[in-house]
Structure 1
Amino acid sequence: MSKLIYDPYLFQQIFQTLDREKIPYVIAHGYDHFPEEITSDVDVIVTPEGLYRLPEILSSLGLTQWIQHEATAHFFILTASPQNGKIPFLQFDVSSDFRRDGLILLTAEEFFSGRKRFKDAFWVPSADVEFAYYLSKKIGKQILTQEHAARLKRLFHKAPEQCVAWIERFFPLEWRDVIILASSSGNWSGLDLSVVKEEMIGYLSSKEKWRTRQYRWFEQTRRLKRVIKPTGLFVQVIGLDGSGKTTLIQKLAEDLRGLFRKTACFHFRPEVIWRSRISSNEDIQNPHGKECRSVVPSVFKVFALTGDWIAGYWSKIYLSKVQSTFVLYDRSFVDLLVDPKRYRYGGPMGLARWLARFIPKPDLFLFLDLPAEVAHARKPEIPLEEARILRQRYLELARALPNAYVLDASLSPADVADAAEEVIISFLKERTARRLGLT
């Protein structure tokens, strides 16, 4: 279970602040049980001016992640200080209009027309505007369940004339009666949503061709920005055998998955040039069980590892970061610099250190440090004296790396995870503030 938990208090803080700052907004849909029950991201519409001011306002409320996923749509994630082993957070999807395939289906002004207070706590759109938004969104995604159909039916019967007007705006003449019947009855079973979407987009596109071309230009610009400044995170976890690297990686992937689109975990190298023939279990159970290779094979191997890391970083890791993925590595090339015997490297260490300079570095190194005696007790395969030497090398490496954090691995796994998560969340907050020009 994720350590991140949707927080009603954080929800209330955000919308009280928007009201206080006089920024018009509506929660577009799914608000019936807010703020007591929040199970996913909150879809919000604000004015273009409000969207411009929003990052500065949210920065004081724990702004942690920012992902622009369309020209006028921004995904904000906020976190608060941990409470009772949980991290309060909120996913906040904010737009200044509603678009689908480059077409502006509803403007902010249309969302605000007839808006009303809900539970005297926040603003929601009128029934017909919510109907228009919900209908076009579900058809655009080609997902319309019985629950969705029932909600559309309820909204339709609250304002039937206005809902019919929206249907006439979105669909060609020959489809209007079909959509009106489905919306009013709640029965969509006979309709192919892919065809319905094609008809809707085709009809709207024929009226606003210039907007579609403009949208494509903005989309290319947005995607280029995401490539230059990816919103994912690349973390390498290093340390002695027995320090709890695997346990920590599993906890981080589970606890913080709500801060990213995806999560990916790997061991040692990307494996894009060749696949490893040695299982990770064999590597852990007997890390120093084989003799080092001679110089020539070692040199060949270290060049191959360097090539695999460089190629793998750009084709696998960086691409994952662009896709907002949390990438976690158990060990990496730097482990070879500390413990060449584990990788049977018998070549010159100067060469390995020189090649390491060409390998792109992660956003964060997390070094799990614990006394050699404790590590040896947990994993006795490595002699105690060797464990002491390796620990000292890891500490020297951590001091030399500007983005390395040393964590006390002698603590409980939960406490180690807490410390690591604090480092990661702080890094994300600082990066987001810097990219938004807030620092």
Structure 2
Amino acid sequence: MIHELLKYLHYKSLDYAIISGYKALFEETSDIGDIDILFKKQDFLKIETVLKDFCELEGFKIVQIYHQEVYAKNIFIFNPKTTELLNLDTYGKLHRKQTVYFTETEIFKNCLSYKNVSTLVTHQEFLHYLLKKIDKNEITEVSFNYLRALFLKETIPCERVVKTCFKNWSSVVVEAFETNNKDLLLESIETLKKNIKVNTKLSYDDKIRNQIRILKRIVKPTGVAISFLGPDGSGKSTIINGLKNKTLPFRKTAYFHLKPIITDRNSASLATADPHKYAPYSKLKSYVKLLFFIFQYNLGWVKNIWPAKVKSTLVIFDRYYDDLIVDHKRYRYGGYKSIAKLIRIFIPKPKLYFILTADADTIYGRKQEVEREELQIQIENYKALVDGKQYHHINANKPPHEIVNKVYKILMKKMYERY
């Protein structure tokens, strides 16, 4: 998709520069990962419109826009036909810690070309990549060698820009590359981080834009919460792990079991060999438990889930409140099912539910934690939740990779519907 996008930008006469990693665009066996692409400030301010027009033309979909800084947006584009995901880190300024080291004119009047792809000149690429790797603690053998190759290619300009961005530790950086001493950088990395010049003065317009950006992030978080439901033996844990291993348009993933409460216990320790071992509570105690659930779910959502969504996290629940309606014996609920359904109105809900079921014989062959007759009832109750909009049925008889791909496609569809 990236090559189609670059052709489109050329067609629209939009100037751009791939900041780093441009060689990987032409390596078939390379994992491209995220692509850093710089635009002129005015073009960046309309980049969402540009990319939406591009997607409309090509049949692609925008599934995520993560606005991390005033002039930085992480935008994910999805190809529904191939399920390919393009991760674009778009910028309107080439800066670090609000300090701009090169003007827009300096950058776009001097761009180089690598196989018809516009790139930064060597010393600009060197400085940007160096500051990025120092800031992220990612000075590896590979990254150091790449930086040193850039340094040796334009030694004097690279030395000059290093001196402009560090307060008084530029000599250490220069010495590390001149003597091919990666350890010198590693030993000084925390000091170097603190030594990078920081610009604390933002323009009035940028301050306003930043406040609007933060407000939008809070009001319309880019993270998504989903839940997996199904009887024991339906393969929820396998599918959850498979989904987490996919390339996802999120900063991170977070796992919760049943409730939005952080616990030290893992999913294995939460499993029980006999979920129906204990007798149900009385009606009064059962209703008190439901009220406590309202408190737990809402407090946990505000404290744990909403902040995670603001930070662009995919929140994954293994089971959720709906399980109590399907399998009330597991939770020792002895009240009326209609009351439990009514209480669900006051429970915050994930964006999507994936309901994994198979025939009773298959699931019973995997786990015999409840009687087969009870298992059949649970399967029917789970299927009754399916509406094809928020609650989606997934056939757990399929191979795990097929199930993961189906879940992934449904998730991506729900995400691009937001745009």
TM class, shorter-chain normalised?
A: 0.7 to 0.9
Residue 338 of structure 1 aligns with an amino acid whose one-letter code is V
Work out the percentage of aligned pairs sharing the same amino acid.
Answer: 28
Q: Secondary structure at the match of 2:242?
A: helix
Task: Tell me, yes or no, if structure 1 residue 411 matches structure 2 residue 406.
Answer: no
Residue number among 6, 13, 24 corresponding to 1:22 in the alignment:
13
Write out per-residue CA displacement over residues 333-377 of structure 1, whole angstroms, 9 at most, x where no aligned residue.
Answer: 111112211211112334322322111110101122333454444
**Equivalent position SS for 1:343:** coil
Contact 1:66–1:77 (8 Å) recurs in 2: yes
CA contact (8 A) 1:152 1:186 kept: no
Structure 2 letter corresponding to 1:124:
T
Q: Does 1:355 align with 2:348?
A: no
Contact 2:97–2:197 (CA under 8 A) maintained in structure 1:
yes
Instruction: Judge conservation of contact 1:142–1:197 (CA < 8 Å) in 2.
Output: no
1:4 aligned residue: none
**Equivalent residues of 1:270, 1:313 under 8 A apart:** yes
The within-5 A match list for 1:35-434 is: 35-36=26-27, 37-51=30-44, 52-53=46-47, 54-60=50-56, 61-81=60-80, 87-120=83-116, 122-141=117-136, 143-172=138-167, 179-187=173-181, 189-190=183-184, 192-201=188-197, 205=199, 210-211=201-202, 218-256=209-247, 258-271=248-261, 279-282=269-272, 285-399=273-387, 402-431=389-418, 433=419
Q: Take 2:294 and 2:172, find their aligned partners in 1: how far apart are those partners?
A: 61
Q: Is the 8 A contact 1:99 1:105 kept in 2?
A: yes
Range 28-37 or range 231-240, more displaced = 28-37
User: Which moves more between the two structures, 410-419 or 134-143?
Assistant: 134-143
User: Could you tell me how far apart the structure 1 residues matched to 2:382 and 2:72 are?
Assistant: 43
What's the RMSD between the two structures over aligned residues? 3.1
Q: CA distance change for structure 1 residues 186 and 222 in 2, over 3 Å: closer, same or farther?
A: farther
SS in 1 for 2:90: strand
Distance 1:381 1:167 in 2: 64
Which stretch shows the higher mean deviation, 105-114 or 68-77?
A: 105-114
**Residue 25 (structure 2) aligns with:** 34
Following superposition, the deviation at residue 426 of structure 1 comes to: 1.0
- Report if the CA contact (8 A) 2:261-2:304 is conserved: no
Q: CA deviation at 1:194?
A: 3.4
Give the letter aligned to residue 234 of structure 2: S
> What is the Cα deviation at residue 415 of structure 1?
2.5
Give TM-score, length-normalised by structure 1: 0.82
Distance in 2 separating the partners of 1:238 and 1:17: 43
Deviation of 1:93 (Å): 0.8
Name the TM-score, length of structure 2 as normaliser: 0.86
Kindly tell me the number of residue pairs found equivalent between the two proteins: 409
In the superposition, relative to structure 1, how do residues 22 and 334 fare at CA in structure 2: closer, same or farther (>3 Å)? same
Q: In structure 2, do the counterparts of structure 1 residues 182 and 240 end up closer, same or farther at CA, with 3 Å as the change threshold?
A: closer
Is contact 1:291–1:344 with CA below 8 Å preserved after alignment?
yes
Q: Structure 1 220/184 Cα, relative in aligned 2: closer, same or farther at 3 Å? A: farther
In the TM superposition, residue 161 of structure 1 has moved relative to its aligned partner by 4.1
Cα shift at 1:34: 2.6
1:112–1:271 CA distance, 2 compared to 1 (3 A): same
What's the CA shift for 1:32?
Answer: 2.9
Contact preservation (8 Å) 2:52, 2:62: no
Measured in 2, the distance between the counterparts of 1:248 and 1:101 equals 40
Would the aligned equivalents of 2:63 and 2:412 in 1 still touch at CA under 8 Å? Answer: yes
Q: Which runs of 5+ in 1 are unaligned?
A: 1-9, 434-439
Measured in 2, the distance between the counterparts of 1:248 and 1:190 equals 44
Equivalents in 2 of 1:430, 1:339: separation in Å?
Answer: 32
Residues 247-277 of structure 1 deviation map (CA, whole Å, 9 limit, x = unaligned): 2222112224x3222122222123459989x
8 Å contact from structure 1 (residues 63, 79) kept in 2 = yes
Three-state SS of the structure 2 residue aligned to 1:260 is coil
How far is the alpha carbon of 1:233 from its aligned partner?
1.6
Q: 1:293 is paired with a residue of what secondary structure? A: coil
In structure 1, how many angstroms separate the alpha carbons of the residues matched to 2:263 and 2:400? 34
SS in 1 for 2:228: strand
Letter of the 1:64 partner, please give it: V
Does structure 1 retain, via aligned residues, the 8 Å contact 2:256–2:262?
no
Q: Quick one: distance in 2 between partners of 1:227 and 1:263?
A: 18
Between the aligned partners of 1:324 and 1:31, the Cα distance in structure 2 is: 26
